[in-house]
Amino acid sequence: MSPEYLILSDNDFVRLMALQPGPQLRAELERAIVMPPDTVPGDVVTMHSRVRYLDQASGERREIQVVYPDEADLSQGKVSVLAPVGAALLGLSVDQEIDWDFPGGARRRLRVEAVMNQPRLRRIAEARGRQTG
């Protein structure tokens, strides 16, 4: 099952296409709704978002941050967008699910449960803090 849509900021889209993603991620990027960063809804997994997801096959819940490859650090929960989990979750909204092919032939269904610390919302909060502070 692929979600009906996924959402990306135009900045993320351009930078991700430049990374020369694999065919599965490229197909997802090509069908994305691309919009200016300040219009991306707060419940969408964007680059640098922290996301809690459920692996429906194992029942495991995990929390990660989706980052660019040079920022990946599993010890800090930072997962590259080119890794299977990062690629699968990018652009999804809370409660959306996706079936994704993983190395070794496994196909897993992941569901986004929460998006925390999305960069657009963080910038809005910081701007409000400057206005009231």
CATH number at residue 109: 3.10.50.30
In a domain, 55, yes or no: yes
pLDDT tens digits, residue range 7-48? 999 999 999 999 988 888 888 888 899 999 989 999 999 999
pLDDT tens digits, residue range 53-90? 999 988 999 999 999 999 999 999 999 999 988 988 99
**Full residue range of the structural domain in which residue 43 is found:** 7-132
Which 3-state string (H, E, C) describes 28-62? HHHCCEEECHHHCCCCECCCCCEEEEEECCCCEEE
Number of domains in the chain: 1
Give the CA distances from residue 3 to residues 25, 54, 76, 97, 100, in Å, rounded to whole numbers and listed in that order.
Answer: 14, 15, 28, 6, 11
Residue 120 backbone dihedrals phi, psi, to 5 degrees: -60, -45
Residue 108 backbone dihedrals phi, psi, to 5 degrees: -125, 150
In a domain, 1, yes or no: no
